[in-house]
Amino acid sequence: MDSVREEAAGLLEGLGVARTALTSGLREVRSPINGEAIASLSDTSPAAATQTIDNAWRAFQAWRKIPPPHRGELVRLFAEQLRAEKEPLGRLVTLEAGKILSEGQGEVQEMIDICVYAAGLSRQLCGLTIASERPDHRLTETWHPLGVVGVISAFNFPVAVWAWNAALALVCGNSVIWKPSEKTPLCALAVQSLFERAATQFGDAPHGLSTLLLGGREVGENLIDDARVALVSATGSTAMGRAVAPRLAARFARAILELGGNNAGIVCPSADINLALRAIAFGAMGTAGQRCTTLRRLIVHEDVYDALIPRLKAVYRSVRIGDPRECETLVGPLIGAASFELMRLALAEAASSGGVVTGGERFDADQHPNAYYVRPALVEMPAQTEVVRRETFAPILYVMKYAHFEDAVQIHNDVPQGLSSSIFTLNLREAERFLSAEGSDCGIVNVNIGPSGAEIGGAFGGEKETGGGRESGSDVWKSYMRRSTGTVNYGSSLPLAQGVRFDV
């Protein structure tokens, strides 16, 4: 393999990150492509973290005074920087996170999309005029900037999830502090460099408007515990959410939590099998099974099971696994050794519960001793056992049969997580029931597409142990603002609400 280190350094230099910044400390950054150390960075010190939050607080106080459409212009300029650097930034995502080329490029496109959306939204931060019960009175609802917004992101979407939050937070009048995953800090350095280019072009963006904190969990805790950080959007495991949420609640801070996903698809008797096959393959194997929306459970009607599963196994056997920089590759590496070990243990547990495992073995270990390429695993299960109900962040698809639609929905919902869901059917009644209140209990519900690959126009997030947070489109912008209800009395008397009399 070519040196990933040299390629990453060249990309970063072109994106405005000096080579000297890549050897500034002791925290190694390794590429999952070959396990090579591609940088050694310094963690942000406690004193520097405090100063960063100070700067962000002052930036917020200035930025909130800027008219929203002008704030939107900065985000538009940032989108133009992303357009110009889409190819190198997307390739950097491939090098650092192991995504195949089209997924790396797609992640940058997602950043562009949310910036364009947010720039338009900057002219539509609409409140309400509310009818008053009192004569000569007017009630209004106005939205104001919230404060400093902290973003804690995960390795599997090293740039897009930050953009979902930052683009909205900025047009809403907030400053943003980003703590990226310690596994993918180079992408964050590149994005920060592009943002600073846009800010220079914009001309009067306050210092500290968008900043970085680099390091592990203890660095992120600065955002969790500092009273000046009004909202923290955190993406990661359910265990992480359980640690973060009480600490934010203790100081009455807002939280947007995007946590575990154990997403399922139901294949009904009327399903278009060819369409379902393609959707299942991408949903289960895309990003090497390391998406929060990855398809992890497949619930197949007994009448179509024998038609679908042999064909699906053939796809699993034939899919191209390898260096994600090669155009023919569809499945790149796991992020590291710990992910492979969790996958191995889950497959062993599934087999001990009666599961029949196809695939799951390590791939080309002799050629890539420090990287973890695996054959995606398809596991035929007799029932939804505990290992199936637990999310394993790896390319494992558990397959189960069902006989009646009600049973399929019950199996589908009988997990702690509630992020994304899908059904494959040409039966209108089945589709509508799945979308109804008695159907899927997830935040994302799809018909005839898989659970993965959400567009930015809708709100992204889930229920139950997924955390309840929402990011990206719809009315999510309101999460980054504070609501103010105002009353104006333009008359000469003082009638009280609810008919109360208080004459003095």
pLDDT value of position 183:
97
Q: Which two structure tokens, joined as six digits, stand for 51?
A: 């100063």
Q: What is the mean pLDDT of residues 138-163?
A: 97
**Domains recognised in the chain with CATH numbers:** 4-259+467-484 (3.40.605.10), 263-459 (3.40.309.10)
pLDDT band for 233, please (50, 70, 90 cuts): very high
Q: Is the pLDDT of residue 197 over 80?
A: yes
Check if the beta carbon of residue 431 is closer than 8 Å to that of residue 381. no
C-alpha neighbours within 13 Å on the C-beta side of residue 264: 31
Mean pLDDT across the chain: 97
Residue of 365, 234, 336, 373 whose CA lies nearest to 28: 336
Q: Could you identify the residue written with the tokens 């925290």?
A: 27
pLDDT band for 504, please (50, 70, 90 cuts): confident
What is the C-alpha to C-alpha distance for residues 441 and 417, in angstroms, rounded to an integer? 9
Check if the beta carbon of residue 361 is closer than 8 Å to that of residue 374. yes
C-alpha neighbours within 13 Å on the C-beta side of residue 159: 34
Q: What is the mean pLDDT of residues 81-100?
A: 98
pLDDT band for 148, please (50, 70, 90 cuts): very high
What is the C-alpha to C-alpha distance for residues 144 and 206, in angstroms, rounded to an integer? 18
Quote helix, strand, coil % in the chain, to nearest 5: 40, 20, 35
Q: Is the pLDDT of residue 95 over 60?
A: yes
Q: Is the pLDDT of residue 146 over 60?
A: yes
Q: What is the mean pLDDT of residues 399-407?
A: 98
**For the chain, percent of residues with pLDDT exceeding 70:** 100
Distance from chain centroid for Cα 418:
14
pLDDT band for 454, please (50, 70, 90 cuts): confident
Q: What is the mean pLDDT of residues 319-325?
A: 97
Check if the beta carbon of residue 231 is closer than 8 Å to that of residue 479. yes
Check if the beta carbon of residue 209 is closer than 8 Å to that of residue 180. no
Give me the active site residues, please.
Answer: 258, 292
What is the C-alpha to C-alpha distance for residues 450 and 131, in angstroms, rounded to an integer? 44
Is the pLDDT higher at 337 or at 367?
Answer: 337
Could you tell me the end-to-end alpha-carbon distance of the chain, in angstroms, rounded to an integer? 87
User: Over the stretch 301-311, which tens digit does the pLDDT of each residue have?
Assistant: 999 999 999 99
Q: What is the mean pLDDT of residues 131-137?
A: 96
What is the C-alpha to C-alpha distance for residues 266 and 427, in angstroms, rounded to an integer? 13
Residue of 72, 82, 92, 73 whose CA lies nearest to 13: 92
200 Cβ contact list (under 8 Å, min separation 6):
none
User: Over the stretch 408-430, which tens digit does the pLDDT of each residue have?
Assistant: 999 999 999 999 999 999 999 99
What SS3 class is residue 191? helix
- Number of CB atoms found within 10 A of residue 73's CB: 19
pLDDT value of position 2:
66
> SS3 string of 86-143?
HHHHHHHHHHHHCCCHHHHHHHHHHHHHHHHHHHHHCCCCCCEEECCCCCCEEEEEEE
User: Over the stretch 342-382, which tens digit does the pLDDT of each residue have?
Assistant: 999 999 999 999 999 999 999 888 888 999 999 999 999 99
Q: Is the pLDDT of residue 467 over 60?
A: yes
pTM: 0.95
